[in-house]
């Protein structure tokens, strides 16, 4: 989401904020400034069905409308793969392909069948998708659906189908899902836009400075970012680096784009800049690789598939999401299959939970989560509001929730994925047996957000998309330390995080700041794990020490 103009704040002596409607915290060691205004958070977009009802139907999409389909390949030995993921063991891409990918000859046969039906179809070895681009009438005929063009009142046009696709037998032999039957649904970035926490504040507040002082700076680590808004140059990033005495971005950032297969990203909106600046201030020597795609599911699935296939780094930071119940099943299933491959090959994946509290689909809709944060194989990152001490170190946090502008950290239960084994010990009745998010949290309230530079100007940004790269970059430091001790990297972070949560009494100091105040518009933050903040935010040095104990104990 777009960055807003600067807030007017009092700084005493570093940013410390009193939110409207909250009482000042007691204690002589804590002084607070006052926010005189707060940035608005974008409301969620309409669901596809609502958008169609609000649109003019322009009739069946003709040959001039190109549909970008992604067919998800079936997984062989699905039970064996599930057991592998549950065990925490990892395998190489070659082993994954030989054990779980379908027969390449059958895949090529499906590719030829698609080509004979008028599509430009392709598949690369190791990929979880067949990409098939073609005219809308060909897609409608192949999948036995109706595809119409629509125009909203603001002039926006899109194509869409609400019909259930029927995949022909020749293709269904190796594929089970298809995405790309509409280009309305858009992945949403969760950045919100003036001052903010400078890098030194962030390092002190979450005790990351102790790791940096120990020589951990991300060397040897690579963080990869799926993004949908462009990064045309490094000017903003290098201005940020110069301002705060950080290494230049020139030697650490790589931008990957493939317009023919991944589509065209949106114009720069600040999300990609936010992600990279926060990651760089925490792990300044880590490599940062951006995968740019169009914001629709069909193109996004392809870029994510390539990101996992390339496996340039072991940490994924994703600040994107969509209303879970409005995400097409084919898109969810394609994405989940690719994510299984990422986990099996040892990647950690941190995903923002959204900025509309428990109401990712909108206040007029039932409470719902944001996909893909609801997947059991990702680490869902929620949001807090922070309160610093005068010394600039940790004082207190509360769950981020602002009913005035209907903003807050995402959290709640999935509607599709069962509660995973690692979460059974904190299973809540309100979850009704489904996956619970978030897993962890960090500063996300835009009123207590992060200092960034975007469009050549200093600003302040928040959102769970700020908390997510913070966690991802901190785990890059943890990975560096694990390797330094001759131990394996974190991989799927959730088993370790929930082990820490279950063993807090034995861990000193505690790896989490337990947030037990505030709410995310539906759920209260309580002692222990909760739907508002998960386990809470990190004490980075304690988190690192606990992770070493976890791995050494067999985790």
Q: What angle do CA 308, 2, 298 make, to 5 degrees?
A: 35
pLDDT at residue 404, as a whole number: 81
DSSP 15: B
Can you name the CATH fold of 17-42+187-492? Answer: Rossmann fold (3.40.50)
Q: What is the pLDDT of residues 485-505, one digit of tens each?
A: 999 999 999 999 999 999 999
Q: What is the mean pLDDT of residues 153-174?
A: 93
pLDDT at residue 395, as a whole number: 77
Q: What angle do CA 173, 177, 183 make, to 5 degrees?
A: 140
CB 295 within 8 A of CB 322: no
| Main-chain dihedrals φ then ψ at residue 52, nearest 5 degrees | -65, -40
Residue 552: burial class (beta carbons within 10 Å; 0-12, 13-18, 19+) = exposed
State the CB neighbour count (10 A cutoff) for residue 126: 18
State the CB neighbour count (10 A cutoff) for residue 455: 13
pLDDT at 23 over 90: no
- How far apart are the C-alpha atoms of 363 and 382, rounded to whole Å? 18
Express as a percent the part of the chain with pLDDT over 70.
89
- How far apart are the C-alpha atoms of 392 and 552, rounded to whole Å? 34
* Cis omega (within 30 of 0) for bond into 13: yes
Comparing CA positions, the residue from 256, 265, 263, 266 lying closest to residue 287 is 256
Q: What is the pLDDT of residues 390-405, one digit of tens each?
A: 566 677 899 999 888 8
More reliable by pLDDT, 268 or 184: 268
The structure's pTM equals 0.88
Reported as a pLDDT band with limits 50, 70 and 90, residue 519 is: very high
User: Would you list the domain boundaries of the chain?
Assistant: 17-42+187-492, 48-179
Query: DSSP states of 282-335 as a string?
Result: HSTTSEEEEEE--SSHHHHHHHHHHHHHH---SEEEE-EEEEGGGS-HHHHHHH
Most confident option among 30-34, 44-48, 191-195, 295-299: 295-299
Q: What is the mean pLDDT of residues 324-329?
A: 94
């Amino acid at each position: 989401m777009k960055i807003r103009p600067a807030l007017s704040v009092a700084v005493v002596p570093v940013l410390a904020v009193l939110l409207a409607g909250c009482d000042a915290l007691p204690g002589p060691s804590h002084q607070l400034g006052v926010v005189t205004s707060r940035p608005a958070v974008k409301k969620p977009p309409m669901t596809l069905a609502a958008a169609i009802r609000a649109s003019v139907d322009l009739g069946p999409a003709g040959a001039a409308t190109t549909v970008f389909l992604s067919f998800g390949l079936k997984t062989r030995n699905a039970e064996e793969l599930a057991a592998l993921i549950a065990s925490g063991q990892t395998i190489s891409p070659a082993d994954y392909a030989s054990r779980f990918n379908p027969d390449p000859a059958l895949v090529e046969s499906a590719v030829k069948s698609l080509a004979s039906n008028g599509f430009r179809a392709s598949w690369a070895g190791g990929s979880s998708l067949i990409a098939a681009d073609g005219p809308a009438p060909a897609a409608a005929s192949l999948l036995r659906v109706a595809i119409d063009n629509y125009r909203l009142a603001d002039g926006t046009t899109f194509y869409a189908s609400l019909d259930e696709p029927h995949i022909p037998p020749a293709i269904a032999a190796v594929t089970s899902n298809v995405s790309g039957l509409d280009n309305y649904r858009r992945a949403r970035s969760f950045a919100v836009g003036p001052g903010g926490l400078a890098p030194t504040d962030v390092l002190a507040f979450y005790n990351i400075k102790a790791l940096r002082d120990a020589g951990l700076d991300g060397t040897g680590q690579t963080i990869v970012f799926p993004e949908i808004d462009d990064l045309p140059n490094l000017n903003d990033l290098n201005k940020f680096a110069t301002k705060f005495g950080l290494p230049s971005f020139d030697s650490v950032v790589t931008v990957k784009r493939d317009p023919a297969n991944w589509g065209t990203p949106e114009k720069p909106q600040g999300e990609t800049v936010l992600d990279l600046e926060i990651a760089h201030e925490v792990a300044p020597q880590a490599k940062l690789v951006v995968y740019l795609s169009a914001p629709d599911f069909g193109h996004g699935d392809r870029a994510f598939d390539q990101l996992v296939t390339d496996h340039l780094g072991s940490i994924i930071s994703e600040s994107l999401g969509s209303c879970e119940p409005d995400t097409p099943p084919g898109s969810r299933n394609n994405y989940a299959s690719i994510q299984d491959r990422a986990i099996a090959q040892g990647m950690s994946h941190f995903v923002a939970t959204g900025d509309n509290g428990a109401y990712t689909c909108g206040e007029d809709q039932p409470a719902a989560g944001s996909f893909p944060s609801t997947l059991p194989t990702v680490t869902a990152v929620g949001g807090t509001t922070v309160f610093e001490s005068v010394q600039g170190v940790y004082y207190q946090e509360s769950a981020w929730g602002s009913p005035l502008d209907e903003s807050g950290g995402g959290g709640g239960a999935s509607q599709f994925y069962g509660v995973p084994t690692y979460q059974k010990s904190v299973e809540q009745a309100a979850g009704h047996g489904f996956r619970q998010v978030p897993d962890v949290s960090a500063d996300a309230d835009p009123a207590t957000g992060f200092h960034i530079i975007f469009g050549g100007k200093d600003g302040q940004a928040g959102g769970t998309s700020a908390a997510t790269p913070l966690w991802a970059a901190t785990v890059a430091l943890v990975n560096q330390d694990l390797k330094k001790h001759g131990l394996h990297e974190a991989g799927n972070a959730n088993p370790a995080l929930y082990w820490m949560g279950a063993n807090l009494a034995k861990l000193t100091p505690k790896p989490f700041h337990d947030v037990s105040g505030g709410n995310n518009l539906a759920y209260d933050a309580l002692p222990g794990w909760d739907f508002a903040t998960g386990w809470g935010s990190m004490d980075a040095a304690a988190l690192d020490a606990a992770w070493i104990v976890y791995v050494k104990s067999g985790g």
